[in-house]
Amino acid sequence: MNVLGISTKTHDSGIALLSNGVPAFVYEEERFNREKHTLKFPNAALNAAVNGQGLDLRDVDVITAPWDMKRLRRSFFRSVMSKLPESLNLLRPGARKTQATLIVNQSGWIRVGLYERFGYANLPEIVQVPHHDAHAAVFFVSPFEEATVLVMDGYGDDTATSANIGVANRIDRLWHDDFFDSLGMLYTCVTEHLGFEVFQEGIVMALAALGGPTYASKFKELIPLKPEGRIAINRDYVSYDTHGLLKPFKEKFFEAFGPARHPSEPLTDHHYDLAYALQHTVEEAILHMVRELSRRHLSRNLVLAGGVALNCVANARILRDSDYEAVWVPPIASDSGVILGSTLYHYHHTLGNERRLVMTHPFYGKGYTDADITRALDAAGLAYKRIEGPELFKQTARDLSEQKIVGWFQDRAEIGPRALGNRSILSDARSLKMKDLINARVKHREAFRPFAPAVLVEHVSEYFDLEQPDPFMTMAPKVRADKVDLIPAAVHVDGTGRLQTVDRENNPRYYAVIEEYAKLTGIPVVLNTSFNRQEPVVNGPEDAISCYLRTDMDVLVLGNFYVTEKNPGAIRRARDAFDDQP
């Protein structure tokens, strides 16, 4: 049975195909159209699936959409009518920057888009899966037979926070909170208040480590902790329930926490302290929910989903400061994951099919052949050489040990927002200067932002305060005190590291590079960051070559092809082509 998931008219549009309970591919449209968090219909992703995967709608049994239109329309209507006339502001496009108004007829737009692409009059049935159910359905590819499943995001079609119990092939909701009692929405609004953009919440999470408790006590008033592990958002401070992102805060917020920062203003201790207050208070709110769930329900397994589950600092605290023995977060916790989640929910929960797969790796994106790679290299006018397996890994390890910056492009792309070893920029974790070099020469971003340590899985507890694998970079535990000086470039200012564990079975090439590096240096940890510069993570070899040429990376490895050349003509063409993109 083939179930095709599609999302459009909302951020992180894309497609996913579930074939007899096993993901065949998950294609995020932004990787193909090069527009971060795109809302557009996933035409480019569909083209890639048709041309590369042989997708034919006549082979698809059902299509799923990760929003329930009746619930969404009801929530929108209640929100708009709740506090007239101010709540009419929610109808203005700027109130919800991450969605088009047309989301209220998502299924209709999916049908229109498919008809325009394929021209079939008789399209498969489109099943609408409630948004939080689509998030929670990642349980079906978790390593647990039973678990508590907590979903936290900006908002879904009827809530922003829901708790569920997953057992075998069923997920049942325990409770959900009010639409606007949203940790995700609050985090986004404070992110904008601090001068950053929507979807830059991770910057604020990193910024929080530089701050102190100046505003922490006062900020607790924004998130009252209610009985039975529930939370609320104090409407005395916020107005996003009437104005959305147009005017998210009331005067009381500004009196307590100061004016909004313009992006051009320098960051000060005030901003650091506000970021700290936000992060710390959100962590405490999440722990409040989690502890009550663990008290009321026997499972010692926890699955986290929704955009808030990308908060790796909070996730590490859950594992450290709650009774849960195992916490699993998928690589696609945010809305890039509900497309696959909607297929899983329909296949397992609705149809009752048994589970078929544990997601042990994230490599369900598009892959490219040697012919694709050499064609792109030849078109760019770059010299290259082919180096096979073990020698390639040894050469790359030598480059890393010599503190070179390596663009590493292999096989199928990882899914989700984080680079996990197939579309990564790698470097030496032993030198603190590497963090500054990559920020300045490659990423061109704020100096305080950390990079991820990628560690061989058998050494994780030796270097970090963590006793479980984390292949998807979802935890930021403390780096052990006796290891901080060994990998200073991978240690954030608060002593944590947003790590990724690497095992041989699920990514043998990535593992082999780190293993060879460890033989040279004695350190089984390298520095990893996403292969991009002010764009979505690279997808095809053309994207990787462009990023290599537009930055100061030293080495580019595409499959078995090794590149160190950068001729002026190739650099100029890459920069001109990138600047000409819409």
Measure the CA–CA gap between 11 and 336, rounded to whole angstroms.
8
- CA distances for 10 relative to 101, 102, 231, 320, 535, angstroms: 9, 9, 26, 35, 19
pLDDT digits (tens, 9 = 90+) for 89-106: 999 989 988 999 889 999
Quick one: 321 and 199 in the same domain? yes
Same domain for 231 and 111: no
For residues 540 and 81, what is the distance between their CA atoms, to the nearest angstrom?
Answer: 46
Mean pLDDT, rounded, for 6-19: 97
pLDDT of residue 435: 87
Domain of 313? Answer: 183-328
| Confidence band for 436, pLDDT divided at 50, 70 and 90 | confident
- Which residues, 6 or more positions from 25, have their beta carbon under 8 angstroms from its beta carbon? 15, 16, 17, 49, 53, 364, 365, 366
CATH of the domain at 542: 3.90.870.20
Q: Is residue 365 part of a domain?
A: no
Name the burial class of residue 355, with classes exposed (0-12), middle (13-18) and buried (19+) by CB atoms within 10 angstroms of its CB. Answer: middle
Helices (H) and strands (E) in the chain, counts: 20, 20
Among 527, 511, 397, smallest CA distance to 457 is for: 511
On whether residue 258 sits in a domain, the answer given is yes
The one-letter amino acid at 47: N
pLDDT tens digits, one per residue of 504-530? 999 999 999 999 999 999 999 999 999
**432 and 556 in a common domain:** yes
pLDDT band at 491 (very low <50, low <70, confident <90, very high): very high
Domain-located, residue 156: no
Structure tokens at 109: 């737009």
Q: What is the pLDDT of residue 102?
A: 87
Identify the pLDDT of residue 339.
98
The CB density around residue 566, as the number of other CB atoms within 10 Å, is: 16
Number of domains in the chain: 3
CATH of the domain at 230: 3.30.420.40
Residue type, 218: K
Model confidence pLDDT, tens digit, residues 239-248: 999 999 999 9
Relative to beta strand 561-563, strand 555-558 is antiparallel
Burial of 80 (0-12, 13-18, 19+ CB in 10 A): middle
Does 342 lie in the same domain as 396? no
What residue spans of 137-182 are helical by DSSP H? Answer: none
Model pTM above 0.75: yes
DSSP assignment string, 312-381 = HHHHHHHHHHSS-SEEE--TT-STTSHHHHHHHIIIIIIT-PPP---------S----HHHHHHHHHHHT
How far is the C-alpha of 157 from the C-alpha of 279, rounded, in Å? 25
What mean pLDDT value characterizes the chain?
96
If asked whether residues 538 and 392 sit together in one domain, one would say yes
Q: Which segments of 404-467 are extended strands (E)?
A: 406-409, 423-428, 452-456
d(CA 271, CA 277): 10
Q: How far is CA 196 from the centre of its chain?
A: 17
Residue 582: pLDDT over 80: no
521 located within any domain: yes
Residue 501, strand partner residues? 455
Evaluate whether 306 touches 282 at the Cβ level (below 8 Å). no
Same domain, 425 and 564: yes
Residue-wise pLDDT tens digits, 423-432: 999 999 999 9
Residue 547 clears pLDDT 90, i.e. is over it: yes
